Amino acid sequence: MKKLMLQKPLDKIRVTEICREAEIERPTFYYHFRDKYDLVAWIFTRNAFETDVLSASSAAKSMNRMRQDYLFYKRAYEDNITPAETIVEMMFYSMPEGLQRIFFPTKKRLSEGAR
């Protein structure tokens, strides 16, 4: 996905292209993700959880990785079809409920009838 987003914006990328680049079949993609925006949210979440915010070296590595992937993040936030708020929402709902309570104490969870 990051490689494709170096070439064009998120709203111009098709799931078929993602599958071709990843060398997987469409059913495999849809087994793991609802759509390309869910994939982007997963990438954001994975990168966030790889960072130990209490470690200066881990934080520095994450910042360097984000700098290298600047165009990916920029294009993900620029997408007019799915605004940044939607990506944050997808990240929120992909978190375990315990983490949701820690990071978003006032937000409604799926178990509370949100969405």
pLDDT in tens, 67-86: 888 788 777 777 655 555 66
Say if residue 55's pLDDT is above 50: yes
pLDDT at 75: 78
Average pLDDT estimate for 8-35: 93
Mean pLDDT over 51-64 rounds to 80
Q: Is the pLDDT of residue 90 over 50?
A: yes
Mean pLDDT in residue range 37-48: 83
pTM assigned to the model: 0.63
Nearest one of 80, 95, 98, 100 to 37, comparing CA atoms: 80
Is 51 a residue whose pLDDT tops 70?
A: yes
Contact 64, 26 (CB under 8 A): no
Which has the higher per-residue pLDDT, 43 or 97?
43
For the chain, give percent helix, strand, coil, nearest 5. Answer: 70, 0, 30
According to the model, what pLDDT value does residue 110 have?
46
Question: Quick check: 94 and 87 in contact, CB under 8 A?
Answer: no
Q: Name the DSSP letter for residue 109.
A: P
Q: How confident is the model at residue 105 (pLDDT cuts 50, 70, 90)?
A: low
The pLDDT of residue 115 is: 46
The pair of structure tokens assigned to 98 is: 């315990």
